[in-house]
Structure 1
Amino acid sequence: MGKNDTRILMQFAVLATVLTSAILVKEATSLTVCQIDTNDMQKCRPAVTGNNPPPPVNECCVMVRAANLECFCRYKIYLPLLGINPSKVVALVAKCGVTTIPPGCRA
């Protein structure tokens, strides 16, 4: 494993720990990751999980449009570990009206 691979893995480990902690502790102080409040991420969870997810709610789309997608998409390969299908995230972004999808986010 190269030096860059190790660094990326460590960054993901930190991100996964932060996200998991925020999900498990509802009263946790919110954290911001890639301009997304970790507590706000829960508004989008139904739209990116399961076999037939419902359309995103408006509050989810507001968050998606404000997010730094280029930053967030660097972690897309790790989303399945959180029970999130990356292709459903790409669909969610489009459903929320975001037309400029960074190359790293495309399925």
Structure 2
Amino acid sequence: MVMIACRADGKPFAICDAPYMGLVACRPAMTPPDPPPPAGVCCDALSHADMKCLGQYKDSPLLPSLRIDLKLALQLLEKCQLPHPAPC
């Protein structure tokens, strides 16, 4: 079963200006032990993201509960060849 989250106005749900489904595509690249390279849809989502906003999640217990490794997550910008913003 696939579910796409939409807002009340019918637009796709976004987190920190990044499309939710794009961020979902990033999950394999942030999951140990042997993550694959990030998918194109992941990199595209990150290119639209407000990275300062996403930085608010760095100390969240949510990431470990989703088996997302913060160190791998922080490497995505470089792997996607995106500019590095100021630290969160």
* TM tier relative to shorter chain: 0.7 to 0.9
Deviation at 1:67, TM superposition (A): 0.6
List runs of 5+ in structure 1 lacking aligned partners. Answer: 1-24
1:88 paired residue among 68, 72, 80: 72
List runs of 5+ in structure 2 lacking aligned partners. Answer: 7-11
Correspondence list, 1:15-94, <5 A: 26-29=3-6, 30-78=12-60, 79-94=63-78
TM-score normalized by structure 2? 0.78
TM-score normalized by structure 1? 0.66
Based on CA coordinates, which of the two structures has the bigger radius of gyration?
Answer: 1
Which structure has the higher relative contact order (CA within 8 Å, separation 6+)?
Answer: 2
CA distance in 2: counterparts of 1:89 and 1:102, whole angstroms: 16
By percentage of residues, which structure has more helix? 1
Structure 1 runs (4+) deviating above 3 angstroms are none
CA distance in 1: counterparts of 2:79 and 2:69, whole angstroms: 15
- Give the root-mean-square deviation of aligned CA atoms: 1.9
Deviation at 1:84, TM superposition (A): 0.7
